Amino acid sequence: MGEVGGVPAQPSGHPRRGVGRVHRAPPGGGTHVSDALARARAALRAGAAVVLPNPYPLTSVVTARVPAVVNEAKGRPATQSVALWLTDDERWTEFTELTDVDERTRSLMHRLLVAERVTLLVPLRECPKWAESATRDGKALVFAARWSRLAPVLTGVGRLHVSSANRTGHAPCGSPEQARKTFPEKVHVLDMDDGRPADGRSATTTLELRHDGSVSHVRTGAQDRAHGGPAAYLTYLARTYGVRGCR
């Protein structure tokens, strides 16, 4: 598996390669796309919550620079946990320095986050204030998949917090149209998609990575569903990445 800017990239021909590289330039899309990306970036920098798309089979996400803004957009308590989003090399570096894992497990962490696009619970040796909203019982919840077309929105915007694009008690949105019907008007929705149907999408699978490199399944999502369920997905991870103690 190759590396781009210190973050593991996905192998050529991988079905998920569209979100694998952190610094790959987005394809051309004309003035409309450029303007839409610029508006989304401006909204993020201004402190708003922004709904951004993911490639199929993932649903959209809602993100903001402050975790309470994400929670407000979703209609849930301001102090509820919100995952960190590792969107560029600076974010990766500062988070990696906090992790309480060895080099082998750290490499596995990168591959699970980038190649598999899961949400991951990772043990920390210390928790600075900016990571507190994502951390419970010494484990931080992190997400790192980033569709390459979103690079102009996310690169250099600073620390971000992210969650599934849904209001509490409702399914995550699979398209900009669904998001506009779901969220309050003050939540900015990026008008862009991958051309695939909104139906049949799911939020990401959540896994827990332990100090010793073992992995357990926490919450079902698109990744394990594609493999026929949690047990089959963990078997796949053990075979593909040499993960120990999958359960």
| Domains of the chain as residue ranges with CATH | 26-241 (3.90.870.10)
**How many whole angstroms from its chain centre is CA 214?**
21
Find the range with the poorest average confidence among 32-36, 43-47, 184-188: 32-36
Average pLDDT over residues 63-86: 98
Own/partner long-range contacts of 39-45 (Cβ < 8 Å, ≥24 apart): 39/188, 39/190, 40/153, 40/188, 40/190, 41/152, 41/153, 41/154, 41/157, 43/188, 44/153, 44/157, 44/160, 44/188, 45/157
Average pLDDT over residues 39-68: 98
Residue 64 has pLDDT above 70, yes or no: yes
Phi-psi region of 13 (alpha: psi -120 to 50; beta: other; left: phi over 0): left
Share of the chain above pLDDT 70, in %: 86
pLDDT of 244 reads: 77
* Residue-averaged pLDDT of the chain: 88
Share of the chain above pLDDT 90, in %: 82
124-156 pLDDT, tens digit each: 999 999 999 999 999 999 999 999 999 999 988
pTM higher than the cut 0.75? yes
